[in-house]
Each structure stands twice: as C-alpha cells, then as structure tokens.
Homo-oligomer: A and B are copies of this chain.
Amino acid sequence: MKLLVVNANTSPQVTDLVVQEARRAAQPGTEIVCATGRFGARIISTRAENAIAHHAMVELVAEHHRGCDAVLIGVSYDTGLAAVRELLPIPVVGMTEAALHSACFLGGRFGMITFDRRSEAVYREIIAGYGLTARLGALRSIQASPADMYRDPSIVEAKVVEAGQKLVEEDNVDVIIISGAAMAGMPRRVQDRLKVPAIDGVNCGTRLAEMLAAMKLPKPRSGSYAAVPEKELVDVAPAIQALYRG
C-alpha cells in the first residue's frame, strides 16, 4: 500500500515532520511518499494563504497520486480536501477530519488545542463544516510557532500541557486533539501529563487512509464526488488537465 502525504505548505521541514509521524503510525507494508507545496506560504496560517494552497494542493495531488492507494492531506486546515476527494479515484483523508472523527470514538466531546488564537475561528468553521459542532467541547489556543518548536520544544510542550489540563478540568472534554501539521507527534510526548487521550491528525489520518484503501470501495459515479467530467481548463498544470481527460 502506497500512501501519498501532501503538504501544501512550502516547508520541506514540515513535510519531514509529517512524514516522520505518518511512518510511525503506518503499518509495516505501507510505503509513504510525500509532496511539498511548490508555491504559497511556508506555514499556512491565514485564510488567504489557505486559499492559495487550495490550488497548490490540487496541483500536487494531480502530479503525485499515480500509483498511490490513498492520500493524506497533511495540512491541518484540510486544505482542498473536498476537491481532492472529488478529483481522485482513491481515498483521501484530511488530517484534521481524521482527528475529529477518531476523537468521536474516544468519548463524548473533544477539545482542540490550536497554535495562535487567530486560527481558532478557522478551526471552528472546519468543525462546523464536518457537522461535528455538537461534539466540540472547547477550543483553546496557545501562542507558539513552528520556529518555537525548533528552538525549544519543551516550552511549547509545557504550553500544550497547560492548555490540555484546562480542557480537562474546566471544559470537561474526553479527548484532546492537538492541531497543526508542524505539531505532528506532539501527543505522544505530552500524553503522560494529560488525563485523557491526546491525538493528532497525521497519526489518525495515516491509519484511516490505510483503512479506507484496504476497503477497496469504488469511486462514486453519481453526486458531487463523482469523477470530474472531460473539460479543458486554462493554463493549469498538465497533470491537473490530465485528470480532466478521464
């Protein structure tokens, strides 16, 4: 089984982090290949950067999906998820989508820790978009960047633990999702300081992508996720155009 992990951020370091965690989560027989964004933000944080990355994501999967059995969207806004799911004949999983649904198997309400208060609103909208608002206990943000992670992960971890404890003590959540592609693997490092399970989207998403690939379900032939029709697009990457030729 070959899993394509796509990072629409333009930072190979983030891709490395994501792939590393994906490898750890993957089954022995799973081969992981990856692709990093060609254009756009190094670390997507604003809505505009995310919009640009929608295109980058479509281009990346168009160029790299051949021969793969499933795709993991390795950006925590699940950038372009619906588009890629529609476009490809193989299962596609968003890392945050994966964490959210996985969390639902671990308790009644989940909490989420985000990195930077600004993104809270975006995550709330993402959760609502999946129809999972009723399962959201609380969102809490800490102030930390990937750069902080490189400098001294222990400081970031301490902040995550503090936010996590509040989610448990004050918000009464049953499970904690730690968001952010650059934070992949963090749950393992802070788990023993938290009273409820902590998960991340790369770990969950890798496993769910493997699972869906193994199910060998057919591509829908009806509805808004059926294969795209034959059509000529203007000035897009040849690989995208190729997908519009069936």
Which residues from chain A sit less than 8 Å from chain B, CB to CB?
Answer: 10, 25, 27, 37-42, 46-52, 54-58, 80, 82-87, 91, 93, 97, 101-102, 104-109, 117-122, 124-125, 128-135, 168-169, 172-175, 191, 195-197, 199, 203-204, 207-208, 211-212, 214-215, 217-218, 220-226, 228-229, 231-236, 240, 243
Q: Identify A101's interface contact among B104, B122, B197, B223, CB under 8 A.
A: B104
**Within the complex, what minimum Cβ distance (angstroms) separates A82 from chain B?**
5
Q: What would be 7 A-B contacts, judged by CB atoms less than 8 Å apart?
A: A10-B235, A40-B233, A40-B235, A51-B80, A101-B105, A125-B129, A169-B222
- The interface residues of chain B lying within 8 Å CB-to-CB of A243 are 48
In the complex, given contacts A55-B55, A131-B135, A195-B221, what are 6 additional A-B residue pairs having Cβ atoms less than 8 angstroms apart? A10-B234, A47-B224, A50-B83, A51-B57, A102-B212, A207-B211
- The interface residues of chain B lying within 8 Å CB-to-CB of A204 are 215
**Within the complex, what minimum Cβ distance (angstroms) separates A69 from chain B?**
14
A55 to B232, CA, bound (A): 18
Question: 4 closest pairs, A vs B, by CB?
Answer: A55-B55, A131-B134, A51-B83, A39-B235
A22 to B224, CA, bound (A): 30
Contact B226 A118 (CB under 8 A): yes
Contact A228 B46 (CB under 8 A): yes
Scoring A27, A87, A131, A135 by chain B CB atoms within 10 A of each residue's CB, the highest score goes to A131
Contact B168 A108 (CB under 8 A): no
Residue of B nearest to A217 (CB): B197
Knowing A39-B234, A55-B52 touch, does A199 contact B217 (C-beta < 8 A)? yes
Q: Identify A207's interface contact among B48, B135, B215, CB under 8 A.
A: B215
Q: Identify A131's interface contact among B133, B195, B235, CB under 8 A.
A: B133
Residue of B nearest to A235 (CB): B39
- The interface residues of chain B lying within 8 Å CB-to-CB of A91 are 105-106
Contact A191 B174 (CB under 8 A): no
A109 to B133, CA, bound (A): 15
- The interface residues of chain B lying within 8 Å CB-to-CB of A39 are 233-236
Knowing A10-B234, A133-B131 touch, does A224 contact B52 (C-beta < 8 A)? no
